[in-house]
Amino acid sequence: MKRPIIMIVGTLATASLLAGCQQKTSAPEPVRPVLSTLAKPNSDDGTVAVGVVEPRYKTNIGFRVLGRLTSRPVYVGDIVKEGQIIGTIDPTALDLAVRAAKAQLAKAEAQLATAKATEERQRTLITSDATTKQTLDNAEQARAGAEASVAQEQASLTKAIEQLGYAQIKADFGGVVTAVGAEVGQVVSPGQTVVTVARPDIREAVVDIGEDLPVPLDVGLPFTVSLQLLPAVQVEGRIREIAPQADPVTRLRRVRIALANPPESFRLGATATAKLGKDQGKVLRLPVSAVLAKDGADFVWVVDQSTSTVSLQKIEGVSEQSGIRVTGGLAAGARVVTAGIHSLKPGQHVRFEQDQEP
């Protein structure tokens, strides 16, 4: 009679043990406190940089030959037309060189005429055996040498005439004089800048931008450029050129922004301010500690604020000095875990008390 009682007690004990194991297995994981941040787009509507309005095309014009400057009829601010004479030097030496070249050419042509006549005479005499074959060969050689001398002197004359044309400098295109580098009476060297001419129709803003720009500095990035004295006058532009290296002292990079149809008030030399174009300053940035690299991709733990659980979400981003710039895969306003990302599990409950700045 006692054996059934023992069996019943054992069965009850076993059921109690199994129930305890099931309760232990199904016990919820503890809520984990984490640091998190809201993915908010950073925006910077302030002035990005200050610079000046400059022409895209300008030419430093100088003489190709040495000479004394005798006239320079243009000054800074003057408007010049294409082909207009903007400077001359004393042409005396160049004119004498042309005369000398002409004389040398006349001499060579006379010698060629004599050589030809001698050759013809020797050809006539050779038919009657009045001269030798050697004499005829010498006459032919003299005629060929005279022809070469004529060709040489013709080239020298052409060069001398071309040099005489270098006594004047002309504007290659219509524009405005922005600088002068020599005065009348001064002896100028070949290549020395005498006048600088710029095209005022194609203008751009030249500014220096630092590393704190909220977006990557790329060619084609839109900007809004305005005059410092007339902030209401604005024009759209895009980056055309970026200096390959930053200034070693200021750590700023020289940027040239091409302006789209700037008004007349955008005069050369005017001070301008450049701001990022609309919506260009709004970017999502996360701290490096929030990004989990896995299988060659980047992930973040996103908190479901209604259930306080986390889920792993793949993102696309670009690594920068200030953190990770998110380019896709994450919506603005999402709450992202920024610390302890390596020990979280999908669906785990978390508790956040304060935001961490990205």
**Which residue is it, tokens 């670009």?**
318
Domains 49-55+200-276 and 92-165 share a fold: no
Q: What is the mean pLDDT of residues 116-128?
A: 90
60-89+173-198 to CATH, choices 2.40.50.140, 2.40.50.100, 3.30.360.10, 2.60.120.620: 2.40.50.100
What confidence score (pLDDT) does residue 337 get?
Answer: 87
SS3 percent helix, strand, coil of the chain, rounded to 5, is 25, 35, 40
The 10s digit of each residue's pLDDT in 34-44 is 788 877 776 55
State the CATH architecture for 92-165. Answer: Orthogonal Bundle (1.10)
C-alpha 241/C-alpha 209 separation (Å) is 12
pLDDT above 80 for 193: yes
Task: Please list, in sequence order, all residues whose beta carbon lies within 8 angstroms of the beta carbon of residue 161, skipping any fewer than 6 positions away.
Answer: 98, 101
Q: Which of 12-21, 196-205, 215-224, 236-245 has the lowest mean pLDDT?
A: 12-21
What confidence score (pLDDT) does residue 9 get?
Answer: 44
Domains in the chain: boundaries: 32-41+283-355, 49-55+200-276, 60-89+173-198, 92-165
State the CATH architecture for 49-55+200-276. Answer: Beta Barrel (2.40)
Burial 152-162 (b: 16+ CB within 10 A, else e): ebeebbeebee
**Which residue is it, tokens 């710029």?**
198
The 10s digit of each residue's pLDDT in 296-317 is 888 888 888 888 888 888 888 7
What confidence score (pLDDT) does residue 182 get?
Answer: 94
C-alpha 177/C-alpha 349 separation (Å) is 72
Which CATH code fits 32-41+283-355? 2.40.420.20
The 10s digit of each residue's pLDDT in 9-67 is 444 445 454 555 554 455 566 777 878 887 777 655 555 789 999 999 999 999 999 99
What confidence score (pLDDT) does residue 82 get?
Answer: 92
How far are the Cα atoms of 43, 65, 174 from residue 217, in angstroms, in the given order? Answer: 15, 44, 34
Q: What is the mean pLDDT of residues 154-179?
A: 94
Per the confidence metrics, is the pTM higher than 0.95? no
What confidence score (pLDDT) does residue 356 get?
Answer: 54
Q: What is the mean pLDDT of residues 250-268?
A: 91
pLDDT above 50 for 1: no
C-alpha 76/C-alpha 111 separation (Å) is 54
How far are the Cα atoms of 285, 321, 336, 344, 357 from residue 298, in angstroms, in the given order? Answer: 14, 17, 13, 15, 20
How far are the Cα atoms of 89, 112, 125, 139 from residue 134, in angstroms, in the given order? Answer: 54, 20, 12, 9
